[in-house]
Structure 1
Amino acid sequence: MNTRLDAPDASLMHPDERAARLQLAACYRVFAMLGWTEMIYNHITVRLPESVTGGEKQFLINPFGLHYTEVTASNLLKIDLQGKVLCGGTYPVNPAGFTVHATIHDHMPEAHCVMHTHTTAGVAVACLQGGLQQTNFYTAQLYDMVAYHDFEGITIHADEGPRLLKSIGNRPAVILRNHGLLAWGRTLPQTFAILWTLQRACEIQMATFSMGAAIPVSEDIARRCTRDALQFNPDHGAGRDMFDALVRQVDRIDDSYRK
């Protein structure tokens, strides 16, 4: 992937881009605080609004080589759908992140944000023959929201894109079999709320199955729980309150992501 050496000048930056950079950099620090890191791997991306891009499809991604605790608003890379770095630092783009995220940002208009993790619980459930099962409070809030995509190896081949999109359909919580978790949403906080719920569902399933058989939740109850859950609903903040609380916690620990 091509890179440029010039970092963005905040004084010349569109305020919508600055806001997106701050929110995304904060999110990387939230992930680090929660332990949702995999060395220098995995990605969180946001598609920049047309007010910034003039109609071009561009998004922000983490520099490949930095730990999440090193990501800041200014060192995030702005790239196009071909992987060209339009603004950023000396670090490259990880092809494994660009390929999947670019596919989703390009073809799914509602996918403003995409998050991907390799947490132990997430990968463990992704490796189970039966995947995520309807047995706990959190799975019951994801009724008919979870998609599965079969493992095809390291995600660096563009020809996997159409198959990935077909697997996802319109479901915002995705289990990449033998691989990990992915979520997408209309806003970053909404995407975080979806991924957090999916992650908790996997953690509890892993703990439950280690002790024996689980009590199933009926389809009717799960459907009702998903309807009654408000954390994904734009009319109720779509996860904003929860995400903001975590950002305040990050700020008390280390607010260097704002640079």
Structure 2
Amino acid sequence: MADGTRSDSIAALRRDLAAAYRLIALHGMDDGIYTHISARLPDGLEGETRFLLNPYGLRFDEVTAGNLVTIDETGVVIDDPYGAGVNAAGFTIHSAVHMARHDAVCVLHTHTVAGVAVSSVEEGLLPLNQWSAQFHDRIAFHDYEGIALNLAERERIVADLGEKQVMLLRNHGTLVLGRSVAEAVKLALNLERSCKAQVAALSMGLTPVVMPEAVAEHTARQYAEAYDSIERNGRSDSEWQAYLRRLDAIAPEYRR
């Protein structure tokens, strides 16, 4: 890749990741200064895995393209414009995935009320509606081991995740992988809607209607084909462009 093209690609990645932080905050899915969204950079000159993470201590609505921190797979900070380092628990989870899943450009982790609620029940997410059918039989599970500070947990996270793009971290929250930042954000927003809808439906005290297996699987494949048409076939992502226009109108400083 030519230096100019590489620089443009990295600049676009930083912009998209900053947008992801702002969008997650805008949808009320952040958790103070905790949880993280990471993006994998092109490998370093020695082949080392490098990725971008938010500066520790900043709210999601304070993250910009220019203050993102670059770290490697060992936790060494390569570039830290803000000067506060990164959260150790964020490094544990995100480095585990980026080291094992090179298809994952972006890893997005949240602690929303609805996501934590669904992660805390044995059944997990049920195919109760079109949103949740997208994830039918496509969710991995990882049992809670405490705050993710033990690097040995990385192997278990990766083993439990397997080849899936979505994981429920039991009693903890959600984890989403995207082949692009845009895909990760869209998956995370749909997962959050699904969890909210399940909590709302089951709270009514009426009888939930669970989709038949065949219908849920058919719907999941329809969603997958739509995502593949963008990520594999290069179709324009009009939904992501709409999200960026919204941010450009209300918080254009995310690009700085």
**TM-score, scaled to structure 2:** 0.91
Q: Which runs of 5+ in 1 are unaligned?
A: 1-10
Q: 1:187: Cα distance to partner?
A: 1.0
* Alignment-derived partner of residue 53 in structure 2: 61
SS at match of 1:41: coil
1:113-153 CA distances to partner (integer Å, 9 max, x unpaired)? 10000111101111112211122211211122111111111
Instruction: Give the structure 2 partner of residue 75 of structure 1.
Output: 67
Check conservation: 2:109, 2:173, Cα contact below 8 A.
Answer: yes
Contact 2:48 2:73 in 1 (8 A): no
1:183 is matched with 176
Distance 1:53 1:20 in 2: 19
Gaps (5+ residues) in structure 2?
Answer: none
User: Shift of the alpha carbon at 1:193?
Assistant: 2.0
**In the alignment, what sits opposite 1:85?**
77
The question of whether the paired residues in 2 share the 8 Å contact of 1:60 and 1:76 is answered with yes
1:258 is matched with 255
Name the Cα RMSD after superposition.
Answer: 1.9
Tell me how far apart the structure 1 counterparts of residues 45 and 193 of structure 2 sit (CA, whole Å).
36
Q: Which of 233, 237, 256 is the equivalent residue of 1:240? A: 237
Return the alpha-carbon distance in structure 1 between the equivalents of residues 216 and 235 of structure 2. Answer: 20
**For residue 159 of structure 1, what is the aligned residue in structure 2?**
152
Deviation of 1:14 (Å): 2.5
Distance of aligned partners of 1:42 and 1:238 in 2 relative to their CA distance in 1, 3 Å threshold: farther
**2:15 touches 2:254 (CA, 8 Å); kept in 1?**
yes
The alpha carbon displacement at 1:183 in A equals 0.3
What is the percent sequence identity of the aligned residues? 38
TM, length-normalised to structure 1? 0.90
Q: Which residue of 1 aligns with 2:27?
A: 34
The total of aligned residue pairs comes to 247
Q: Does the C-alpha gap of structure 1 residues 232 and 205 become closer, same or farther in structure 2, counting only changes over 3 Å?
A: same
